[in-house]
Structure 1
Amino acid sequence: MDAGLIAFIAGMIGLLVGVLSMNAVARSEREQERSLVSAPALRDGAAQVLAVIGRAYLVIDEVGGVVQASPGAYAMGLVRGHTVASDELADMIRTVRHRGIFAERTFEIDRGEGEALVLDVRVASLGDEYILVLADDRTEISRVQRMRNDFVANVSHELKTPVGAVSLLAEAIEQASDDPEAIEYFVGRLYKETRRLSALVRDIIELSRLQSTDVIARGGPVSVPSLVTDAVDRSHIVAEEKDIQISTRIEEVPEVYGDAELLGIAVQNLVENAVRYSPEHTKVDIWVHRVADQLLVEVADQGVGIPEDEQKRIFERFYRVDPARSRQTGGTGLGLSIVKHVMTQHGGSVTVRSMPQEGSTFTLALPLNEPPAAV
C-alpha cells in the first residue's frame, strides 16, 4: 500500500478518535450542567442552601433518579448522568426511603489501579418527594490516620525490646552481686541497650518535630561543606575502629537556605549509616558539588548493597533491609525516614543507587534558592 495513503488513513483515524473523545467530554459536561440547571424547584429554600453548602451532594427523586448533583459528586464517581453509580449508595437511599430514617456510612469508591476514595456519606429525606445525599472525601484523613496508627504500633514494638532488655539486665545484675565479672558483662550490655533506647527516643522526637513544624520559616544561610566536615569528624572514631577510610571531595559551592541543625542531622545520618553498615577495611567517599541549580551531597560506601525491590521502602519509618543486622549495629530504623523528611521540608530530595555486594550511593539534592523575601 502506498505510504502516503497509509499516512492519510492514520491521520483520519486519529482525527476521528479526537472528535469522539471531545464529544464524550462535552457530553459529560452537558450532563452535569443539566443536572444542575434543570433540577425541579426544591422546597423551603433547599436549593439556595445546596448552592452554597460547599460539599458534594445529590438529590434523588421518587423513582431513584438523580435530579440534581454537584460537580463534586461527579468527580467522586457517585453519579453517572442521572443515575447513582455506587451500589452501596443506592442501597442507603432505598433504606432511607423505605424506613424514613437518617443513614450515615463510610465506604470506599474504587478508582482503579489499586486506588480508592474513602467517603463519609449521609443520606436523609428532603421533604416527601426527594432524598438528599451529602458526601465528604475522607481519603487523606484516612491515610494520615492509618499512618498514625501504624507509627504508634511500630513505636510500641520498637520500645518494647530495649525496655524489656534493660529490665532483664537490671535483674541479672542484682542476682550477680557476688560475681564481679558477670556484673561487668551485664553492665556493658545494659549500657548498650540504654544507648539504643536513647537513640530511638531521640529519633522519634526528631521525626515528630519534622512532621509538625515548618522548618524553613526559621531558616537561614547554611554552609553544606561545614556540615559534611562536622559529620566526618563525628564518625571518625567508629571509622578508625573498623579501618574505614573516609574520603571527601568538596567543591566550591554556594550556601543553601534552610535549617542548619536539621540539614546537619540529614548529612550526619547518611555518613553514620555508610560507616555503620560498611565492612572493615573499606572506603566511604563523600562528594559535594553543584549541578545546575542544585547542590548535591553524594555519600558512597562499599557495603553489602541494597536489593532493587527494597530500595523504594528504605525511607519508610522502621523499615530495615536486614532487621537483625540493624539492631546489632544500633540502628533505630528511623534515620533514613528523618533524612527524607528533612529534604522534603527544604524542597529537596534524597535518592539511592545500589547493587547487592557493590555498595550504595545516597544523594542529597538541595535547591539553590534565594531566601524568602521579608514581609
Structure 2
Amino acid sequence: MFQLTQNSDQALVQDKEQKTILIVDDEAVIRDLCMRALHDYHVVEAANGEEALQIFERGGIDAILTDVMMPRVDGLELLKRIKEKEPTMVVIIMTGYADKELILKALKADADDFITKPLNLLQLKSGVDKALVKKALKEEIANLKNLDRLKTNFLSLISHKFRTPITTISLFLQNLAAGVYDPCDETVRQHTGLIYDEACYLGQLVSDLLSFSTVMDSGGALRLEPCDLSSLIPKLVTSSKEWNEKHGVTPQVQVEPSQEVMLDREKFSFALQQVIDNAIKFSKKSGMVRVTLQDEGESNRIVIEDQGIGIARDALPKVFEKFYQVDANRTGQVRGFGLGLFYAREFIRMHGGSIGIESEPEVGTRVTITIPHKGHQDS
C-alpha cells in the first residue's frame, strides 16, 4: 500500500500543471488568496455554487475548493450534487464555523477534507495535494473493481458460449458409443452434420478469443503507417468468414480514390472488420451488404449498410457496451462474445474518428465511420 501511495504522489507532482482546481467562494479576496497559494495548479473560480456547477459540467475539473455559506447554491448542496454526478471528485470544504452538525452533514455527503477560516495557506496547499492523491487512489481502486467485474462476466460468458456445443457433441458421442444409433440410419448422418457444425463453431470461438487476445495485448499505442483505404476496404469485405453462412447475401463495394491515411493497420482493420462481419451476420437469407468510401476533404467517410434484422431503438445505446449482444429472437445463442463493437469504437476513437449507428427493425442497419486524414492517438 505504501508503494501505491508513493507512486501516486510522484505522479501527482509530475502532473500538477495539468490539474485544474475550481475555487468557489462569494468573497473575491478569498478566491484571490487561494489562487495565489495554488499557483502550481491551473485554477478557475466561481462566485457561487450555481456558477460552479455550470463550470463543473463543462468538464476538466480535478478538485473543488468551496466555501459553505454562499447565495443561491450553498457549499453543502454543491457537494451533494457534485458527488452524485462524479463520486471520485475531490471536494474540500472551507468554513469559518466549527459547527459539529455542519461537519457531520459534510462527512455524510463524502467531503474529502475541511479547511477552517481564517485560511492557513500552507495547510490549504497541503490539503489539496493530499486530496488529489486520495482521488488517484479512489480511481485506481474503482478501476481494479471494474476490471475484476469484467473478468468475472467474461469468464461466465465464455463458459456459457462453450457449454452448449460441448454438451451437444458429448451427448451424441455417448449415444453413439452406447449403440443407441444405427450407423446406417439417415438420422445419424444428419446428426453427424450438425455435430460437425458445432465443432466448427467451437473452432471459431477459439479463433475469436485468440483474435481479441492479440488485439488487447497489442497495447494502447498506435503504430501508424500510410494506408490506402480504397484498397483495404474491398479486401476486408471479401475476406469475411461470415459469407460462408450467407450465400444469398450480395456484397456491394463502392470506393472513391482517396489519399493515404496514417493508421494503425492492425487495429483499424480489426475495427472495420467487426462492423462488416456484423452487417453480414445479421443479414437475412437474402439481400445486400453495401460498403462505401467517400473522401470528404479533411476526412474519409465509410458507410456499411445491410438489409438485415435491424436493432430495436432501445437497444441502440447499448451496442457499444462490453459483452452486449443484439438478440432479436431472445434465443441466448447469438454467436460471438459481444466485444467486437466495443473495441471497434475504441480503436476508431484512438485514430481521432467517430462511429455511429442508425437502425430500424426488419429494415436494416447503417453504420457510419469517419476517419480524419491525419490520424492520431487519443490521449
TM-score (structure 1 length as normaliser): 0.64
3-state SS of paired residue (1:311): helix
Mark the CA change 1:153 to 1:360 in structure 2 (over 3 Å): closer, same or farther: same
Tell me by how many angstroms 1:191 deviates: 0.8
Which residues in structure 2 correspond to 1:4-23 (within 5 Å)?
none
Confirm whether residue 301 of structure 1 aligns to residue 309 of structure 2. Answer: no
Which moved further from structure 2: 224-233 or 322-331? 322-331
Task: Give CA deviations for 1:93-131 in whole Å, capped at 9, x if unaligned.
Answer: xxxxxxxxxxxxxxx96417744335598879xxxxx99
Which residues in structure 2 correspond to 1:298-337 (within 5 Å)?
298-322=303-327, 328-337=333-342
Confirm whether residue 368 of structure 1 aligns to residue 373 of structure 2. Answer: yes
Mark the CA change 1:157 to 1:343 in structure 2 (over 3 Å): closer, same or farther: same
Tell me by how many angstroms 1:158 deviates: 1.0
Task: Give CA deviations for 1:149-207 in whole Å, capped at 9, x if unaligned.
Answer: 33212211111113434653564355232445388367425414423531442354145
Between the aligned partners of 2:211 and 2:40, the Cα distance in structure 1 is: 43
Confirm whether residue 117 of structure 1 aligns to residue 88 of structure 2. Answer: yes
3-state SS of paired residue (1:111): helix
Mark the CA change 1:75 to 1:294 in structure 2 (over 3 Å): closer, same or farther: closer
Between the aligned partners of 2:246 and 2:38, the Cα distance in structure 1 is: 71
Partner of 1:19: none
Between the aligned partners of 1:115 and 1:268, the Cα distance in structure 2 is: 35
Larger radius of gyration: 1
Query: Could you tell me which of 67, 80, 91 is aligned with 2:67?
Result: 80
Between the aligned partners of 1:115 and 1:229, the Cα distance in structure 2 is: 44
Between the aligned partners of 2:75 and 2:376, the Cα distance in structure 1 is: 49
Task: Give CA deviations for 1:195-236 in whole Å, capped at 9, x if unaligned.
Answer: 3531442354145236x3202xx2210111222111221237
Which moved further from structure 2: 246-255 or 176-185? 176-185
Between the aligned partners of 2:38 and 2:251, the Cα distance in structure 1 is: 65
Between the aligned partners of 1:276 and 1:224, the Cα distance in structure 2 is: 23
Tell me by how many angstroms 1:294 deviates: 0.5
Q: Is the 8 A contact 1:238 1:275 kept in 2?
A: yes
Partner of 1:149: 148
Q: Is the 8 A contact 1:77 1:109 kept in 2?
A: no
Which residues in structure 2 correspond to 1:87-236 (within 5 Å)?
110-111=81-82, 114-118=85-89, 134-136=130-132, 137-138=135-136, 140-141=139-140, 144-165=143-164, 168-169=167-168, 171-176=170-175, 177=177, 178=179, 179=181, 180=183, 181=188, 184=192, 187-188=195-196, 190-206=198-214, 208-209=216-217, 212-215=219-222, 218-235=223-240
Q: How many residues align?
A: 294
Between the aligned partners of 1:75 and 1:173, the Cα distance in structure 2 is: 60
Which moved further from structure 2: 330-339 or 109-118? 109-118
Identity between Structure 1 and Structure 2 (%): 20
Between the aligned partners of 2:375 and 2:271, the Cα distance in structure 1 is: 21
Between the aligned partners of 2:164 and 2:309, the Cα distance in structure 1 is: 29
Tell me by how many angstroms 1:363 deviates: 1.4
Partner of 1:274: 279
Q: Is the 8 A contact 1:293 1:368 kept in 2?
A: yes
Letter in 2 for 1:289: Q
Partner of 1:69: none
Letter in 1 for 2:82: R
Tell me by how many angstroms 1:135 deviates: 1.7
Q: Is the 8 A contact 1:289 1:295 kept in 2?
A: yes
Between the aligned partners of 2:163 and 2:242, the Cα distance in structure 1 is: 30
Mark the CA change 1:209 to 1:349 in structure 2 (over 3 Å): closer, same or farther: farther
Mark the CA change 1:286 to 1:156 in structure 2 (over 3 Å): closer, same or farther: same
Which moved further from structure 2: 136-145 or 222-231? 136-145
Between the aligned partners of 1:148 and 1:360, the Cα distance in structure 2 is: 31
Partner of 1:30: 29
Residue ranges of structure 1 left out of the alignment (5+ in a row): 1-23, 38-49, 57-73, 88-107, 125-129
Task: Give CA deviations for 1:316-338 in whole Å, capped at 9, x if unaligned.
Answer: 11112317668645232111112
Mark the CA change 1:149 to 1:78 in structure 2 (over 3 Å): closer, same or farther: farther
Partner of 1:261: 266
Q: Is the 8 A contact 1:306 1:355 kept in 2?
A: yes
Which moved further from structure 2: 314-323 or 162-171? 162-171
Mark the CA change 1:196 to 1:325 in structure 2 (over 3 Å): closer, same or farther: farther
Q: Is the 8 A contact 1:287 1:298 kept in 2?
A: yes
Which moved further from structure 2: 152-161 or 192-201? 192-201
Between the aligned partners of 1:144 and 1:345, the Cα distance in structure 2 is: 20
Between the aligned partners of 2:213 and 2:27, the Cα distance in structure 1 is: 50
3-state SS of paired residue (1:312): helix
3-state SS of paired residue (1:360): strand
Q: Is the 8 A contact 1:76 1:117 kept in 2?
A: no
